[in-house]
Structure 1
């Protein structure tokens, strides 16, 4: 391995900030003198710039205790003194019950939010592990409806899984959909349907297909919406070979 081949292999790790401090300093010193590496790092960082890396803060729910107290205070006053103690006791019980219910509701809400956060964290860790272990990063430009987008694949040869990024595309025309394909030794094997977010981006993780033999590449096509099996029938938008 030449010195420059080491930098080529570490480009993806550098772009996702997974190099240790010493290797990153070495890469930082190399970039100003290597236009090829600089251009590749800029491209990968641009491809990944849209990826969400955090959660929006969730506003707390309105306090239940305040409503209970307000309802008690709005009750008409009883003229008879003998009702004073029962009313105060009822108010205390309502307040205690309200606080208990509010606490229980908040606890359930926090548990649900924590579970969702843990799920997203696990997914993000899985995504980063595939990117870090990616031996190959494949990229193809996609032009659709006057827009310039792209297809990026992070191929991890140890786990035989890919992170697939599709970005910058317009919504599929009515009655059609975007489709991801594996190019195998036996032909085209249907992968995931590509569902874009409102900004025209998506990312998904996929393993290798159980049929078709050796995977040699991937493709993105535009398929009829009512077809979910069989070979490609629409135009090919991107084509990548390993």
Structure 2
């Protein structure tokens, strides 16, 4: 028998021929759809509307804030005005009280002066129930008290006159209360050193240089 030819060696597995693999084909990416002109216009319109609406909301918020701030400022100003008014009223009341106190102190000095002399003033036909008294002191001045004077008409005042001779001299502008009562300090005009005839007349507001109104009270030493 003929000898069997030797078998060819088997190549390693890694060196064996592998069937060629086909390259993987990638599927083409579908194209993005192009927006239609109508869709573009619609989207732009909605964007503008959204911006406009947002602007309106912001404007409304700012307007509300401004209105609240204005109301707050007005309320603060009103409170400040009220406080200033109250302070002014308190100031006027304090000044009036001070004048009354000064008048009382001055009146007390006149009434307690050792040289005080009273002069009675009687009501005249326009005020028959009125009564007055002028206290006179050469060292402390004068003090007039009166009751029963009629209410003063608007734009008019009572005025006290001292009459040392034929020329009456203004001695005081008088303020009567609701009951027709008067208490006023009197500074004697220059040259008047003792009790002289006196009269109370009704004159224009601010007083007159010479008496021209009706006589309400009149007295003579």
CA shift in 2, pair 1:114/1:209, >3 Å: same
Structure 1 gap ranges (5+):
1-79
Distance 2:72 2:158 in 1: 55
Tell me, yes or no, if the aligned pair for 1:142 and 1:149 is still in contact at 8 Å: yes
1:51-200 equivalences in 2 (<5 Å): 81-83=57-59, 85-133=61-109, 134-135=111-112, 136=116, 138=118, 139-145=120-126, 147-155=128-136, 158-160=139-141, 162-170=142-150, 180-184=160-164, 189-191=168-170, 192=172, 200=180
Shift of 1:152: 2.0
Aligned counterpart, 1:204: 184
Paired residue secondary structure (1:208): coil
Distance 1:98 1:224 in 2: 45
Look at both structures and tell me which one has the larger radius of gyration over its CA atoms.
Answer: 2
CA shift in 2, pair 1:148/1:81, >3 Å: same
Distance 1:196 1:158 in 2: 26
Shift of 1:121: 1.1
Shift of 1:148: 1.7
Paired residue secondary structure (2:130): strand
Pick the structure with more helix per residue: 1
Higher relative contact order (CA 8 A, sep 6+): 2
User: TM-score, normalised to structure 1's length?
Assistant: 0.47
Tell me, yes or no, if the aligned pair for 1:183 and 1:189 is still in contact at 8 Å: yes
Q: CA RMSD in A?
A: 4.0
1:212-227 equivalences in 2 (<5 Å): 212-220=191-199
Distance 2:101 2:173 in 1: 23
Tell me, yes or no, if the aligned pair for 1:130 and 1:154 is still in contact at 8 Å: no
Tell me, yes or no, if the aligned pair for 1:183 and 1:215 is still in contact at 8 Å: no
Aligned counterpart, 1:20: none
Shift of 1:151: 1.0
Q: Across the two proteins, how many residue pairs are aligned to each other? A: 153
Q: Which moved more, 1:200-209 or 1:134-143?
A: 134-143
